[in-house]
Amino acid sequence: MSIDRVVAKMRGGSRLSADEALELYRGAPTSLLGRLADGIRARKHPSHVVTYIIDRNVNYTNICVAKCNFCAFYRPVGSSEGYVLGFDELFRKIDETIAVGGVQLLLQGGHNPDLPLTWYEDLFRAIKSRYPMFKLHALSPPEVIHLSRLSQLPVNAVIARLIDAGLDSIPGGGAEILVDRVRKLLHCYGKASADEWLDVMRLAHRAGLRTTATMMYGTVETDEERIEHLLRLRALQDETGGFTAFIAWSYQPAHTELAGAEATGIDYLRTLAIARIVLDNFDNLQASWVTQGGKVGQLSLAYGANDMGSVMIEENVVRAAGASYCMDEAEIVRNIEDAGFVAKRRNMHYEVLGDPIFREREVPRMLELATARADGDTPVPDELMNYPARSRAGKQLRVISH
Ligand code: SF4
């Protein structure tokens, strides 16, 4: 099969098979991949608008029993560097987010055996009663599965309880590569197999939630497995239509057990472009400036992305693995406009909320991303004592703190 035939098929409006997508991914010049992806982006978003969201990426705990070997963020149960954020700390983070025009928290964390489902429910209810309009984009599929196992409730019951407590949408984290051979090598099969990850999203979509989908590439997977990942997402999107967006990011190897090398910017742009081509039923693709930096993030807008993702405010996971790019709203808008697009703020549903907030009112500049913990924060918040611990270390901590 020649590249020309695949391109002709694509231009005729036909969907690509796995073999055709692979042929294109492996063989097409980067400039051609970019042109094809950009054509799709322009057809889906003819208004020349590139969106972004102001939200805050908060990790409520770094204690995790999953121990994925590509993760530099987690700490094992009992570690002196382990933390759980207190409700008050989270309220403070929300206040700071609202001050710069933010509309939601992206709330994810480790699989902490000492945080029962009721802790999440109480937290969500507390947030919603203080900030009724503020959105909770929270708990990736493996976290939902962790809660299902911990509470011994089926996944759909956990989702229903979380929605009842205030969950608005689910982020697509923890997908890595949706192929079990890869997941076993990355020690993340136990937290969620490919089918289990997809099942959580299926159930969430059926329950009326919108979610995103992600891919973390550049570890041990083959090109075929990257394409398989995209095809599995495309199939579920055909079935439910519940994904709002796709985000690809490259593995960050520093301080991880797996180690290895980081994928190049060209690999990122090629992967983004093939995703735009294969995921014909996804409306939105985000640029991953947090792993690629502002310049490649800006270039992404010529390789299929129509969204600059999140202003973010805070980031802990990618930073733990060595990357620490920061862009506040003004910087993101500058990158969008310098690339020739019109910048608009959006919500998680990709509804436009307005022009850049810093042009409407004065907001503080944010030249560094915040971290989860501030000096003086206690690693054991008071309300944690109200919830039973499962781990021995967690039980001891509660006894000592009393
Ligand atoms: S990636 Fe998530 S689930 Fe895996 S070890 Fe890190 S915090 Fe835990």
In tens digits, the chain (402 residues) has pLDDT values of 689 999 999 888 899 999 999 999 999 999 999 999 999 999 999 999 999 999 999 999 999 999 999 999 999 999 999 999 999 999 999 999 999 899 999 999 999 999 999 999 999 999 999 999 999 999 999 999 999 999 999 999 999 999 999 999 999 999 999 999 999 999 999 999 999 999 999 999 999 999 999 999 999 999 999 999 999 999 999 999 999 999 999 998 888 999 999 899 999 999 999 999 999 999 999 999 888 888 889 999 999 999 999 987 877 776 676 666 778 899 999 999 999 999 999 999 999 999 999 999 888 777 777 777 776 666 678 889 899 899 998 888 777 666
Q: Rounded to the nearest 5 degrees, what angle is found at the Cα of 205, between the Cα atoms of 199 and 208?
A: 145
- For ligand 1, atom 4, which residue shows the shortest CA distance? 68
Q: What global pTM score does this model have?
A: 0.95
- As given in the structure block, the two tokens for residue 147 are 């809660």
Residue nearest to atom 2 of ligand 1 (CA): 110
- Which distant-in-sequence residues (6+ apart) come within 8 Å of 291 by Cβ? 249, 250, 252, 268, 318, 323, 325
Q: Are 308 and 335 in contact (CB under 8 A)?
A: yes
Distance of CA 335 to the CA centre of its chain: 21
Q: What's the pLDDT score for residue 2?
A: 87
- Cβ contacts of residue 319 below 8 Å, gap of 6+? 369, 371
DSSP H or E stretch at residue 308: strand 307-310
- Distance of alpha carbon 186 from the chain centroid: 18
User: Which pLDDT belongs to residue 299?
Assistant: 95
Residue 339, SS3 per DSSP: coil
Instruction: Give me the DSSP letters along 213-240.
Output: EEEEESSS--HHHHHHHHHHHHHHHHHH
The predicted structure's pLDDT at residue 313: 81
User: Pocket of ligand 1, candidates 59, 144, 188, 249: which has the most ligand atoms within 8 Å of its Cβ, to mutate?
Assistant: 188
Please give the distance, rounded to the nearest whole angstrom, from the Cα atom of residue 105 to the centre of ligand 1. 19
**How far is 210 from 258, CA to CA, in rounded Å?**
32
CA 99 to chain CA centroid, nearest Å? 23
- Dist. CA 74 → ligand 1 center (Å): 6
CA-based end-to-end distance of the chain: 70
**Cα Rg, the chain, nearest whole Å:** 21
Q: CA 347, CA 47: separation in Å to the nearest integer?
A: 18
Q: CA-CA-CA-CA torsion for 250, 251, 253, 255, nearest 10 degrees?
A: 120
Residue nearest to ligand 1 atom 7, measured at CA: 110
The pLDDT of residue 399 is 74
Residue 50, SS3? strand
Q: Which atom of ligand 1 is nearest to the CA of 71?
A: 6
Residue list, ligand 1 pocket, CB within 6 Å = 64, 66-68, 71, 73-74, 110-111, 142, 188, 191
Pocket probe for ligand 1: among 57, 70, 73, the residue whose CB has the most ligand atoms within 8 Å is: 73
- Residue 301 is predicted with a pLDDT of 97
- Specify the pLDDT at position 322: 65
Give the distance (Å) from ligand 1 centre to CA of residue 143.
Answer: 9
- 291 token code pair: 């792993």
Write out the H or E segment, with its range, that includes residue 122: helix 117-130
Tokens of 254: 């520093």
Q: Are 260 and 219 in contact (CB under 8 A)?
A: yes
Residues 6+ apart with CB under 8 A from 356: 329, 330, 333, 343, 345
- What pLDDT score was predicted for residue 314? 76
Sheet of strand 210-217, all strands in order from the earlier edge strand to the far edge: 55-59, 104-108, 135-138, 169-170, 210-217, 243-250, 284-286, 307-310, 49-53, 342-346, 352-354
